[in-house]
Structure 1
Amino acid sequence: MEMDAHPPASHVTAVHRDPAIDLVRFTCLLLVVAAHCMMVSPVLHKDGTVTTLNVLMEQRWFTPVLWGLMIVPLFFVLGGMTGLQSWRRLRARGGSGFDFAQLRLLRLVRPAMVVLALMWAGLWVALLLGVHPQVIQLMTAGAAMPLWFLAAYLTAQLSIPLLAWLHERAPFPTLAALVTLIIAIDSLRGALPVLAFANMIFVWCAVQQLGFLMADGFFEKRSRGWLLGAIISSNLLLGLVTGVAVYPGNMVVNLNPPNFCLLLLGISQAATLQLLQKGIRWIADIPWVQAVIALAGRRSMTIYLWHLPLLVGLSGLFLLTDVPKPLAGTAEWWWARIPVFVAVVALLIPVVLMFGRLENRPTAASHARGPSRTAVVTAAVVVLIPVADAAFNGLTLALLGGGAACFALSVLLLGRVPTPVLTPVSTPAPMLQLRQGAELPEGRLRTLPEPDLRANLET
């Protein structure tokens, strides 16, 4: 199978968001929020402690349904598509891998920093007001559960310059090498359980490579029969490895740490996305859909980071009221999930309006200097240490505060993003199109995208 070469780095294309990608990401976020609303079921006891029951995971029908609803791999496929495109645009303007890392870190760390700081402050206030420490720990662990995704996604995104370099030279050998590492780690995880966490890197980077293939048009050039074959084959193989008990059949169990099953789901979801692309684009062109995703679709990280803290806080306040609380798993409880979901979405709207702008790229004056390479590397290490600690040992109130402080330090180290104008040594071509209605001589290339230009997960 042949794959067209990627667009040359010297070709600068207009930076526009793809509404279809925003729509898919937004739909997936709604599914995540709905699923979490069906999982949380706290019960307050007379001694002031709280126990929780994951109702959704207790349902027998949920295990097979998870094959279709475990959409975490799709996030990494989309991140690979948009991340590769962003990296190529940045490189075409003279940017380096360190510039890319700075942009990605700011894009993900700034909104997370605010969430962690406000959670830490709010839970400390609750503790001082007499809330049982066991309840505080339970709320801390539950509300900050999305941090594992932040750690995995950030690691995969920071690897894009290196993996893109490998992909442009040997796309399929690179993917095959990652698959080999995944299977090797899975084979050794029984003897060395801690080794399984290495697949937090290899699995999600491999799924991200599928996004690279989509960005380069590999899936687009395949026939409908080929795409259907990829979907069927990956699911048959998934059924085989889970049916003979090589892997658990529950995809939530396979999620953290991830294993080969998540890569198979990623292949199926990438092919399905391509198969449904025309329908998705038709829906994305509907005016009211465009209006919704224009606001929410571009604030995906804010929605993801905030929905569980809001759900946990709402559930905690609900326990303190005298409103009748149906038993978990009953018909009344299931019907009550609808107003809970609506309430969480209603709370997310003002949060997105207040904090969504943190996902924008902070741009300094064009003459300003960016952070040094040492500062960017230090910022990455400072961020990854607390999230790795949380992934291995669980999140505590102390770690929540420490994580907020580390994230704040990282933001200070990264500073703002300069857009200096450089003059290349080579002889300039007449003109280089940068965007519609805006041109610069090729002899004056901006090292980073212009301040008002953003792509999906651009910063």
Structure 2
Amino acid sequence: MGLPDGKPQAEDPGDTPPRDLVIDLARFFCLLLVVVSHTMMVSPVLHPDGTVTSENTLGNQDWFEPVIWIFMVMPLFFVAGGITGLQSWRRLRNRGGTGVEFAQARLLRLIRPAAALLAVMFTGLWAALLLGVHSQVIQLLATGAGMPLWFLAAYLAAQLSIPVLARLHERSPWLTLGGLATLVVTVDCFRGVLPPLAYANMVFLWCAVQQLGFVIADGHVSKLSRSRLVAVIGLSNLLLAVLAGLGLYSGNMLVNLNPPNLTLLLLGISQAATLELFRSGLNSVASAAWVQKVLAVAGRRSMTVYLWHLPVLAAMSGLWLLTDFPKPPGGTAEWWWSRSVVLLGLITLLLPVLAVFGRLEDRPTASVHARRRPAAAVVTAAVVVFIPVTDAAFNGLTLGLLGGGAACFILAALLLGRVPARVPEEKGTGRSEPALPPPPFSANVEP
């Protein structure tokens, strides 16, 4: 996966390649930016009549739109997921694994942390409601804290499609990418006539962006010269500017995020090319010993941080309203200075959350003698998971849906059981060794 200069390399099907440190660094940057930006967006307001509303202070700034154009990193996360997902699937397939086993591992890695989150949120908000907290506040907290779940649904859909899309990619990589892009544009063309159709791009768009990661993983982008990479970056952003300038799409990338549209694919192309353009320098930064230690810790607990940071931030903001601490109006100089305190408090509160729930990200691996789950159980688990997240995407997250979602996710985890560990025979020795890397697992060396 990574040579000393950070370029992709061919791998022996029987080997577990080293981590691509550049991808670890890119994922850490994405996660850090998302957490920091959310501390600048969540701004609850207590009105004189006792009602509470939430303002997106960062989104209301005049300078926000061009900045979010640059720092909308969600496409980059899916590009990274495409790179690591394709390599993980190929390693599993080369050891005799199946698409069902791949889906089982991916589902468990994501839904175990989410199940705990939904259960705790439901219990906590229900207790708050019984203690007399206004139902409006409960709904506001549920809606805001549940925002990360849209990502979980989109990422799961993209990851579960990897075995099929990988086969199409191996036959015709550019035709597959072009076909997905065509589906994205088609949905965009008809979304005005049939608005619910726009949500189909939660699958088509993110699968197309993920496919860019496939192209990088196979070394197609690394073959381009620096001048051509700069040209790709410039042309994709120029086309994006033209589409926004003509009024076909919004120039605000948060508006374009849910449901997603073609603008995010263009951003993904730009970000994929930028990643390769600066890969050598990024690899030098990521190779520093202290950076690797940070990336190793963050990579093992990234999903827990992503899922929990908004609920913790929402709870902290709600409790702040009940205290006598100063509450400067959003957007004032005092409010901006207070963000550093909010970020410090968020990090402090996340530490015990990581200690309690972080281990749920470790993939539960059964003994080699464990029976594999039947395909029907894995498919049923996937359907059970997508029922509540689809409902939340169309109708919003409610307290009742939190409880139902927690039950569905726990049921799915029970259906999936544990991932069977493959122990292939080592060539020429007659010995066997585990095919899965020992814990702690890296985000990009699994399964």
TM range (shorter): over 0.9
1:375 is aligned to 377
CA distance in 1, matches of 2:191, 2:229: 32
2:251 counterpart letter in structure 1: G
CA distance in 2, matches of 1:450, 1:284: 21
TM-score after normalising by structure 1: 0.92
CA distance in 1, matches of 2:338, 2:437: 47
CA distance in 1, matches of 2:317, 2:407: 27
Structure 1 counterpart of 2:427, from 424, 431, 440: 431
CA contact (8 A) 1:93 1:449 kept: no
What are the superposed Cα offsets for residues 339-379 of structure 1, whole Å, 9 maximum, x if unpaired? 11121122222322322221111011110102110000000
CA distance in 1, matches of 2:361, 2:161: 20
1:393 counterpart letter in structure 2: N
RMSD of equivalent CA atoms: 1.9
CA contact (8 A) 1:17 1:454 kept: no
CA contact (8 A) 1:20 1:281 kept: yes
Judging changes above 3 Å, is the alpha-carbon distance between structure 1 residues 6 and 162 closer, same or farther for their aligned structure 2 residues? farther
- 3-state DSSP class of the match of 1:325? coil
Q: Please state if 1:276 is matched with 2:256.
A: no
Shift of 1:420: 4.8
Structure 2 counterpart of 1:55, from 53, 57, 62: 57
Shift of 1:16: 3.2
Shift of 1:216: 0.7
Judging changes above 3 Å, is the alpha-carbon distance between structure 1 residues 287 and 453 closer, same or farther for their aligned structure 2 residues? closer
Q: Please state if 1:30 is matched with 2:17.
A: no
2:339 is aligned to 337
CA distance in 1, matches of 2:22, 2:76: 14
CA contact (8 A) 1:104 1:158 kept: yes
1:456 counterpart letter in structure 2: A
CA distance in 2, matches of 1:287, 1:453: 17
CA contact (8 A) 1:367 1:420 kept: no
Alignment of 1:379-418 (within 5 A): 379-418=381-420
CA distance in 2, matches of 1:55, 1:440: 63
TM-score after normalising by structure 2: 0.94
What are the superposed Cα offsets for residues 285-320 of structure 1, whole Å, 9 maximum, x if unpaired? 222222222212321111100110010011011111
- 3-state DSSP class of the match of 1:402? helix
2:436 is aligned to 449
CA distance in 2, matches of 1:346, 1:281: 30
CA distance in 2, matches of 1:251, 1:304: 20
Q: Please state if 1:166 is matched with 2:175.
A: no
1:449 counterpart letter in structure 2: L
What are the superposed Cα offsets for residues 89-123 of structure 1, whole Å, 9 maximum, x if unpaired? 00011100000000000000000111111111111
CA distance in 2, matches of 1:172, 1:318: 52
CA contact (8 A) 1:419 1:449 kept: yes
2:436 counterpart letter in structure 1: P
Alignment of 1:61-210 (within 5 A): 61-210=63-212
CA contact (8 A) 1:16 1:454 kept: no
CA distance in 1, matches of 2:36, 2:302: 15
1:165 counterpart letter in structure 2: R
Shift of 1:453: 7.6
Judging changes above 3 Å, is the alpha-carbon distance between structure 1 residues 284 and 7 closer, same or farther for their aligned structure 2 residues? closer
Structure 2 counterpart of 1:303, from 298, 302, 305: 305
CA distance in 1, matches of 2:427, 2:424: 15
User: Unpaired runs of 5+ in structure 2?
Assistant: 1-7
What are the superposed Cα offsets for residues 405-428 of structure 1, whole Å, 9 maximum, x if unpaired? 0000000000011125579xxxxx
- 3-state DSSP class of the match of 1:53? strand
Count of residue correspondences? 439
CA distance in 1, matches of 2:437, 2:328: 54
CA distance in 2, matches of 1:383, 1:339: 36
- 3-state DSSP class of the match of 1:51? strand
CA distance in 2, matches of 1:204, 1:401: 28
Judging changes above 3 Å, is the alpha-carbon distance between structure 1 residues 409 and 114 closer, same or farther for their aligned structure 2 residues? same
CA distance in 2, matches of 1:15, 1:120: 41
CA contact (8 A) 1:365 1:419 kept: yes
CA distance in 1, matches of 2:97, 2:441: 16
CA distance in 2, matches of 1:421, 1:325: 58
1:352 is aligned to 354
Percent identity for Structure 1 against Structure 2: 62
CA contact (8 A) 2:300 2:441 kept: no
CA contact (8 A) 2:75 2:264 kept: yes
Q: Which moved more, 1:271-280 or 1:237-246?
A: 271-280
CA distance in 2, matches of 1:281, 1:52: 40
2:256 is aligned to 254
Q: Which moved more, 1:48-57 or 1:237-246?
A: 48-57
Q: Which moved more, 1:382-391 or 1:412-421?
A: 412-421
- 3-state DSSP class of the match of 2:42? coil
Shift of 1:455: 4.3
CA contact (8 A) 1:48 1:132 kept: no
Alignment of 1:210-221 (within 5 A): 210-221=212-223
Judging changes above 3 Å, is the alpha-carbon distance between structure 1 residues 201 and 122 closer, same or farther for their aligned structure 2 residues? same
CA contact (8 A) 2:202 2:260 kept: yes
